């Protein structure tokens, strides 16, 4: 392809798999709000071809890319200008091609915080937070969670050593334990950052250490409540949410980085929920 053939306003989401990504829908809605002419498509990238795919897209005039599993660490390594929150996460979900520079950012954590605080009306300062999981999804949100000054952030993982490793990475500003050694709590917020739902399971949280008025939040999203969300209802959480709002909020932050304007998210979250329900009932 010729340089510039993708056009000045071309964006992609790169992943494997990426076929079910909702990002093209979300960014099309955002662009419509501002009358911006952009293209945004899902690009399936073979394992081992991430760098070459980024270079090809750039040389065709691509302006930016979202990056999803399993390439977020590679995207970080490729960034010539990683942001502070990308360095903290060790992972990048937003690439911005700016002349010779490759800016890398991570908008997942701020997406989570914005959904909780602004959309769900759940301020985080002074809260006791339990984050379940210690993989990439958990690591990506710890910095932004610490930035809003919770009273306590406990990271609990099935494999305790991975939680301990995160504790060292974050200079002991978090507590770490195995899921079988949960501190008594109680907690105001329980976040599920595990991939247990993929095998239709809730992470085994032995006790139900929830304070009254507590919120439970699954960072995954689906048309139906996840096993974690069903566990949270039984455990007495006052508010239970999936991660649809986080998905739209992280996208809004990417859009702002690329386009300099911040989209409104409420109507897009509602539209995405309808879309997920419609596609699951078909």
Catalytic annotation, residues: 72
Q: Kindly report each contact of residues 119-124 with a partner whose C-beta sits within 8 Å and lies 24 or more positions away, as own/partner.
A: 119/245, 119/249, 119/265, 119/266, 119/269, 120/215, 120/239, 120/241, 120/245, 122/189, 122/215, 122/239, 124/148, 124/149, 124/150, 124/189
CB of 274 to ligand ATR, least distance (A): 26
Q: In whole angstroms, give the CA distance from residue 144 to residue 93.
A: 15
- Binding residue for ligand ATR (CB under 6 A) from 174, 196, 214, 240? 196
- The answer to the question of residue 159 lying near ligand ATR (CB under 6 A) is yes
- The answer to the question of residue 92 lying near ligand ATR (CB under 6 A) is no
- The answer to the question of residue 227 lying near ligand ATR (CB under 6 A) is no
What residues have CB less than 8 Å from 104, skipping those under 6 apart? 75, 76, 78, 79, 81, 82, 83, 86, 92, 94, 95, 96
Would you say 166 and 175 are in contact if contact means Cβ atoms under 8 Å apart? no
- The answer to the question of residue 162 lying near ligand ATR (CB under 6 A) is yes
- Binding residue for ligand ATR (CB under 6 A) from 24, 61, 136, 227? 136
- The answer to the question of residue 220 lying near ligand ATR (CB under 6 A) is no
CB of 179 to ligand ATR, least distance (A): 6
Quick one: 38 or 45, whose CB is closer to ligand ATR? Answer: 45
- The answer to the question of residue 194 lying near ligand ATR (CB under 6 A) is yes
- Binding residue for ligand ATR (CB under 6 A) from 158, 169, 211, 273? 158
CB of 187 to ligand ATR, least distance (A): 17
- The answer to the question of residue 203 lying near ligand ATR (CB under 6 A) is yes
CA atoms within 13 A on the CB side of 223: 10
CB of 89 to ligand ATR, least distance (A): 11
Q: Where are the beta strands (DSSP E) in 2-38?
A: 10-15
- The answer to the question of residue 133 lying near ligand ATR (CB under 6 A) is yes
Q: In this chain, which stretch among 23-31, 157-165, 246-254, 265-273 interacts with ligand ATR, using CB under 6 A?
A: 157-165
- The answer to the question of residue 201 lying near ligand ATR (CB under 6 A) is yes
Q: In whole angstroms, give the CA distance from residue 248 to residue 158.
A: 29
Buried b (16+ CB within 10 A) or exposed e, 8-37: ebbbbbbbbebeebbbbbbbebbbeeeeee
Other C-beta atoms closer than 10 Å to the C-beta of 274 total 11
Site for ligand ATR (CB under 6 A): how many residues?
A: 16
> In the structure encoding, which two tokens stand for residue 185, read together?
């709590």
CB of 99 to ligand ATR, least distance (A): 31
Q: In this chain, which stretch among 10-18, 34-42, 95-103, 128-136 interacts with ligand ATR, using CB under 6 A?
A: 128-136
Site of interaction with ligand ATR (CB under 6 A): 133-138, 157-159, 162, 194-196, 199, 201, 203
């Amino acid at each position: 392809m010729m340089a510039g053939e993708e056009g000045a306003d071309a964006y992609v989401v790169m992943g494997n798999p990426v076929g079910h990504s909702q990002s093209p829908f979300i960014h099309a809605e955002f662009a419509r709000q501002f009358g911006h002419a952009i293209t945004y498509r899902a690009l399936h990238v073979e394992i081992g071809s991430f760098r070459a795919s980024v270079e090809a897209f750039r040389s065709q005039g691509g302006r930016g890319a979202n990056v999803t599993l399993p390439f977020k660490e590679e995207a970080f390594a490729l960034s010539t200008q990683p942001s502070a929150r990308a360095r903290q996460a060790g992972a990048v979900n937003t690439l911005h091609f700016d002349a010779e520079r490759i800016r890398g950012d991570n908008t997942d954590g701020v997406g989570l915080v914005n959904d909780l605080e602004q959309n769900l009306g759940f301020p985080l300062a002074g809260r006791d937070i339990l984050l379940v999981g210690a993989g990439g999804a958990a690591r990506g949100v710890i910095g932004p969670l610490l930035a809003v000054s919770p009273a306590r952030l406990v990271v609990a993982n099935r494999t305790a050593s991975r939680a301990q490793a995160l504790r060292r990475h974050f200079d002991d500003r978090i507590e770490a334990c195995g899921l079988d050694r949960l501190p008594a709590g109680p907690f105001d917020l329980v976040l599920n950052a595990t991939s247990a739902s993929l095998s239709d399971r809730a992470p085994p949280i032995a006790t139900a250490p929830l304070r009254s008025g507590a919120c439970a939040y699954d960072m995954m999203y689906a048309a139906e409540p996840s096993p974690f969300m069903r566990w949270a209802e039984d455990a007495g959480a006052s508010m239970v949410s999936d991660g649809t709002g986080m998905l739209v909020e992280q996208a809004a932050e990417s859009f702002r980085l690329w386009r300099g304007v911040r989209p409104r998210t409420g109507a897009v979250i509602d539209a995405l929920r309808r879309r997920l329900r419609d596609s699951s009932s078909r």
